[in-house]
């Protein structure tokens, strides 16, 4: 295959991937979209300060792609365990990417499933003298 045809084929495949993704301003929007999506997935092209930082780190001007998928549905309504993948094709010698796992509810709070709420309230509630209680990991 001629180099020009290879280049055109690569450009069209990259363009189709970008067209199928939602344009997005923030990671937060995509996380919420995945929580609401029937298939638990959302993807987009990142265009905010995180994207700028990513490009600065990789030295590549190529788009920053974000994919969010649901790993688990918690019993609490609107709460999910999400996988957040931020990647950039063609950065350096191939692909640069980061994966995060995050427990998130639609309102921005973490799910309470599996939390010991009594213990958490002891740690977070101030004493009468205005000091917070020390947690199990505090010295």
Q: Which two tokens stand for residue 123?
A: 């740690």
What mean pLDDT do residues 19-37 have? 80
Look over the chain and give the mean of its residue pLDDT values, rounded to a whole number.
Answer: 77
Measuring CA to CA, which residue among 83, 66, 68 is closest to residue 37?
68
| Residues near 67 by beta carbon (within 8 Å), at least 6 away in sequence | 41, 42, 43, 84, 85, 87
Tokens 């799910």 correspond to what residue? 111
| Residues near 13 by beta carbon (within 8 Å), at least 6 away in sequence | none
Q: Which two tokens stand for residue 118?
A: 């009594």
pLDDT of res. 130: 58
Distance CA 33, CA 17 (A): 18
Domain ranges of the chain: 21-111
What mean pLDDT do residues 63-69 have? 93
Cα dihedral sign, 49-50-55-61: negative
**89-117 pLDDT tens trace:** 877 666 788 899 999 999 999 998 876 66
């Amino acid at each position: 295959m001629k180099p020009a045809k290879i280049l055109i084929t690569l450009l069209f495949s990259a363009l189709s991937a970008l067209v199928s993704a939602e344009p997005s301003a923030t990671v937060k929007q995509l996380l919420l979209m995945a929580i609401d999506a029937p298939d638990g997935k959302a993807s987009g092209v990142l265009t905010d300060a995180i994207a700028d930082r990513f490009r600065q780190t990789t030295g590549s001007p190529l788009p920053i792609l974000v994919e969010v998928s649901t790993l688990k549905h918690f019993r609490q309504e609107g709460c999910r365990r999400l996988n957040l993948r931020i990647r950039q094709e063609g950065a350096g010698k191939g692909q640069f990417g980061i994966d995060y796992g995050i427990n998130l509810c639609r309102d921005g709070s973490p799910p309470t499933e599996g939390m010991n709420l009594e213990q958490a309230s002891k740690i977070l509630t101030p004493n009468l003298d205005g000091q917070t209680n020390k947690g199990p990991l505090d010295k």
